[in-house]
């Protein structure tokens, strides 16, 4: 239940003290991180956390990531920090890396979807760290958008989807990384990559050695080990398919192109977005969700997305595109796009 002194209409601003006060009183605040905008609530306040699920339309089997500003806060949230976690924290925090560790009883089961582990990270964005410190509490924060849709990378993206459903949007400018954090499970015998993200697999393996990759959950209705693991996610309203340049285009009337680098000639495409004119994967990741939103707003019948090189941040980009691709939305045509070869299916094992 919303506290009586929390406003019922949302505004966009840069007042960190106001945002921190709202969090302390059980409010919902959207705020910028280096990855995407998060929708934050006091992670230790069950009623506030429940509002996140209500506002987003998020199923309660999908756990939340808890954001911290100080390493000392970990003692309240996790039962143990193994040596490989300490090495990663020393090297990559603050940054786009979430570590899944055994939780303490202080963390509500609602935050973790009833699992005995919790995902924790320290964001690198200065206003996010300022907000957390002023609020004085760990903050649970999934992406600040309706569940399953394209993640927001600007304050306006948040306002467009959530509007007056939340209490304040703390504007920290465009997100520099542009895809969600990498999620690494360190609660078991072997480090397991649950979700590729803003920190590459290669960087992590240089620090602690080889990683395993998670197998998909038995079904999308069972508790997920981390956010972003559902088979369908990051969806545009316009059907999206993955296809290489050599694939045949379907007979849709208006097709948009989401390309990694410029393509010429554009031919059938009614609109196009280029993620990185110079072929830089970091730039492509930062531009991904905003480009998807712009194409989605153009009244197209179909978006054709090109896969990017599957190295470094390319793994996270391809993961998002695969989950955004609509399994049920391919146009009925004799010239339908062929499946993209050479891309691993989401959550496929990789030893």
Q: Which domain holds residue 295?
A: 240-324
Helix (H), strand (E) at residue 13? strand 12-13
**One domain, residues 188 and 248:** no
115 and 247 both lie in a single domain: no
Is residue 274 assigned to a domain? yes
Is 88 inside a domain boundary? yes
**pLDDT of 165 higher than 60:** yes
193 and 57 co-located in one domain? yes
Q: Which residues of 153-180 are buried (b: 16+ CB within 10 A; e: fewer)?
A: bbbebbbebbeebbbbbbbbeebbbbbb
Dump pLDDT digits (tens) for 328-343: 444 333 333 344 444 4
Residue 242 has pLDDT above 90, yes or no: yes
Q: Is residue 337 part of a domain?
A: no
Query: Does the pLDDT of residue 6 top 70, yes or no?
Result: no
Largest interatomic CA distance in the chain: 60
Residue whose C-alpha is closest to residue 153's, from 129, 131, 133, 171: 171
- Report how far residue 321's alpha carbon sits from residue 325's, in angstroms, rounded to the nearest whole number: 6
d(CA 302, CA 305): 10
Q: Which helix (H) or strand (E) holds 202?
A: helix 201-208
In a domain, 17, yes or no: yes
C-beta separation of 76 from 68 below 8 A: no
Give 87 or 325, the one with higher predicted confidence.
Answer: 87
User: Do 167 and 209 sit in the same domain of this protein?
Assistant: yes
Clarify whether residues 177 and 282 are in a common domain: no
Question: What is the per-residue pLDDT for 130?
Answer: 98
Residue 331 is assigned to a structural domain of this protein: no
In the DSSP assignment, the letter for residue 242 is E
C-alpha distances (whole Å) from 205 to each of 111, 120, 199, 212, 272 are: 28, 19, 11, 10, 36
pLDDT band at 295 (very low <50, low <70, confident <90, very high): very high
Domain membership of residue 346 (yes or no) is: no
Residues 247 and 316 placed together within one structural domain of the fold: yes
Q: Is the pLDDT assigned to residue 10 strictly greater than 80?
A: no
Q: Count CB neighbours of 77 within 10 A.
A: 21
> Phi, psi at residue 63, to the nearest 5°?
-70, 165
Least confident of 142-156, 203-217, 228-242: 228-242
**Are both 187 and 251 inside the same structural domain?**
no
CB–CB of 23/35 below 8 Å? no
CATH of the domain at 279: 3.40.50.11030
Residues 291 and 205 in one domain: no
Same domain for 319 and 206: no
Residue 287 is assigned to a structural domain of this protein: yes
CATH code at 159?
A: 3.90.870.10
Domain contains 3: no
Per-residue pLDDT at 326: 66
In Å, what is the CA distance from 95 to each residue of 25, 46, 50, 124, 317?
Answer: 27, 26, 26, 5, 18
pLDDT above 60 (res 244):
yes
Task: Provide mean pLDDT across the span 23-32.
Answer: 97
> Residue-wise over 218-239: b if at least 16 C-beta within 10 A, else e?
eeeeeebbbbbbbeebbbbebb
Q: Could you tell me if 203 and 91 lie in one domain?
A: yes
- The number of distinct structural domains making up the chain is 2
Query: What is the side-by-side strand order in the sheet with 255-259?
Result: 240-242, 302-305, 255-259, 269-274
């Amino acid at each position: 239940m919303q506290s009586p002194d929390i406003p019922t209409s949302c505004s966009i601003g840069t007042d960190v003290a106001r945002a921190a006060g709202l969090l302390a009183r059980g409010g919902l605040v959207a705020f910028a991180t280096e990855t995407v905008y998060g929708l934050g609530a006091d992670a230790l306040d069950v009623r506030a956390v429940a509002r996140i699920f209500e506002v987003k339309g998020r199923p309660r089997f999908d756990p939340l990531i808890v954001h911290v500003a100080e390493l000392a806060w970990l003692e309240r949230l996790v039962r143990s920090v193994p040596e490989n976690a300490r090495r990663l924290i020393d090297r990559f925090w603050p940054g786009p890396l979430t570590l899944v560790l055994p939780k303490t009883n202080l963390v509500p089961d609602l935050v973790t979807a009833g699992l005995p582990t919790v995902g924790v990270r320290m964001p690198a964005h200065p206003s996010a760290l300022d907000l957390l410190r002023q609020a004085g509490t760990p903050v649970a924060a999934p992406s600040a958008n309706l569940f399953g849709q394209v993640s927001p990378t600007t304050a306006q993206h948040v306002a467009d989807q959530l509007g007056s459903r939340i209490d304040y949007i703390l504007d920290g400018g465009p997100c520099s990384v542009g895809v969600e954090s990498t999620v690494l499970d360190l609660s078991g015998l072997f480090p397991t990559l649950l979700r590729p993200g803003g920190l590459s697999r290669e960087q992590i393996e240089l620090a602690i050695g080889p990683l395993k990759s998670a197998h998909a959950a038995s079904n999308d209705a069972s508790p997920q080990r981390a956010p972003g693991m559902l088979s369908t996610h990051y969806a545009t309203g316009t059907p999206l398919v993955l296809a290489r340049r050599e694939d045949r285009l379907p007979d849709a009337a208006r097709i948009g192109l989401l390309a990694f680098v410029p393509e010429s000639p554009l031919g059938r495409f009614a609109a196009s977005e280029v993620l990185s004119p110079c072929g830089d994967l970091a730039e492509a990741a930062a531009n991904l969700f905003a480009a998807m939103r712009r194409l989605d707003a153009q009244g197209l019948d179909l978006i054709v997305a090109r896969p990017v090189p599957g190295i470094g941040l390319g793994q996270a980009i391809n993961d998002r595109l695969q989950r955004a691709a609509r399994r049920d939305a391919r146009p009925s045509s004799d010239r339908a796009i062929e499946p993209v070869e050479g891309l691993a299916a989401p959550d496929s094992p990789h030893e």
